[in-house]
Amino acid sequence: MKILGIETSCDETAAAVVVDGARILSNRIASQVEIHARYGGIVPEVASRQHILAIIPILKQAMAEAKATWGDLDGIAVTAGPGLAGSLLVGVNTAKAIALAQGLPITGVNHLEGHIYANWLDAGTLRAVPIFPVVCLIVSGGHSDLVLMRGHGDYVILGRTRDDAAGEAFDKAARILGLGYPGGPAIEQAARNGKANSIQLPRAWLKGTSDFSFSGVKTALLRLVEKGMVSNIVDAAAGFQEAVVDVLVTKAIAVAKEHRVKQILLVGGVASNKVLRQQLAQNSSIPVLVPEPVLCTDNAAMIAACGYYRFRAGKVDGLDLDVIPSLKLS
Ligand code: KG4
Ligand code: ZN
């Protein structure tokens, strides 16, 4: 089954063609990072206009690279939410136009579910196949969730952030330290030359729950900077990264053990962080699966992979498919 995936929920315009939810024929991404960098964050109106400019060229590239014609496709999977309304609309309307013109079925994908399904890409060939039940640690710009997945499309939310998401915390900390945007890669890069233990930052354990909180560590960093107590930026970046990773790793392992799962799936943009990947793999006795870094950040291959399993389960949408900016995983 050959699925075209389309993703425009935030600031990446992406299209991909994937066979049977696993084999990537093409995976094209047009990033708007440089455009938003000058504002220090994503400007929603600018993002949607950029998507309009980029979507057709990206689609053409993805189809050409896959050597696919419209007639070769079996369906279209498109991110319907969560995300920025104006950005999501570009992808959803483009997908509906192709579906109508080519008589193809369409399925609306939850972006977070898409991140999870990045773990099925190349599974069985280049990497291990996920085995249920699994615990997913979803860490992105908008989410930090711990989710029990008992089968395809079967989710139980065990914990979530009560304030900032992990990626959001990285972005804010980078701004505080003057490291620019996007913050996650900037902090990781700076931290490589820093000593994490030269700065004391708090960890919010929220004992007795599987929830997270990252606003405290961010505020603590801000106070230290304001008081002139941060003399070395790279040490501060390393200390901040360690504080966030420490909590994510400890809580994910605890939840995975409690629910006796077979594997932990680490997903979302923050999952491209090397220290997080290493710490989780080293400290967990339960096997950890994590996609290649380029498949952790926003892409359309993961949406196509998720779409394949949705089609298999008969989850086909009509041409009345609409965007849901605050769509929840359920
Ligand atoms: O999943 P994603 O690409 O977009 C959303 O769905 O939000 O995640 C983007 C987030 C941003 O906050 C970015 O700073 C963070 O992921 N991120 C990282 C790294 N690469 C991206 N955070 C930490 N370390 C990284 N290497
Ligand atoms: Zn994402």
Encode pLDDT of 179-226 as tens digits.
998 999 999 999 999 999 999 999 999 999 999 999 999 999 999 999
**pLDDT tens sequence across 282-297:** 999 999 999 999 999 9
The dihedral of CA 235, 240, 241, 242: what is its sign?
A: positive
Contact residues for 313 (Cβ-Cβ < 8 A; gap 6+):
152, 153
- pLDDT for residue 102 is more than 90: yes
Residue 3 burial (CB count, 10 A)? 30
Mean pLDDT for the chain overall = 97
- pLDDT for residue 330 is more than 90: no
Most informative mutation of 270, 294, 329 for ligand 1 (most atoms within 8 A of CB): 270
Q: Report the separation in Å between the CA atom of 237 and the middle of ligand 1, taken as the mean of its atom positions.
A: 16
Long-range contacts of 217-222 (CB under 8 A, 24+ apart): 217/169, 217/243, 217/244, 218/164, 218/169, 218/172, 218/173, 218/176, 221/173, 221/176, 221/177, 222/176
Contact residues for 295 (Cβ-Cβ < 8 A; gap 6+):
27, 118, 121, 301, 302
Which ligand is closest in space to the CA of residue 11? 1
DSSP SS3 for 159: strand
Q: Are 144 and 113 in contact (CB under 8 A)?
A: no
> Considering only CA atoms, which of 145, 116, 115, 111 is closest in space to residue 133?
116
Q: In whole angstroms, what is the distance from residue 88 CA to residue 172 CA?
A: 24
Residues, beta carbon < 5 Å, ion ligand 2: 140, 298
Query: Which residues does a 6 A CB cutoff place in the pocket of ligand 1?
Result: 10, 140-142, 167-168, 170-171, 182-185, 188, 268-270, 272-273, 297-298
Q: What percentage of the chain carries pLDDT values higher than 70?
A: 100
Q: Report the separation in Å between the CA atom of 140 and the middle of ligand 1, taken as the mean of its atom positions.
A: 5
Q: State the closest ligand 1 atom to the C-alpha of 274, by its place in the atom list counted from 1.
A: 26
DSSP SS3 for 117: helix
> Looking at residue 289, what is its pLDDT?
98
Q: In whole angstroms, what is the distance from residue 294 CA to residue 296 CA?
A: 6
DSSP designation for 127: B
Give the confidence band of 69 by pLDDT, cuts at 50, 70, 90: very high
Q: Report the separation in Å between the CA atom of 70 and the middle of ligand 1, taken as the mean of its atom positions.
A: 32
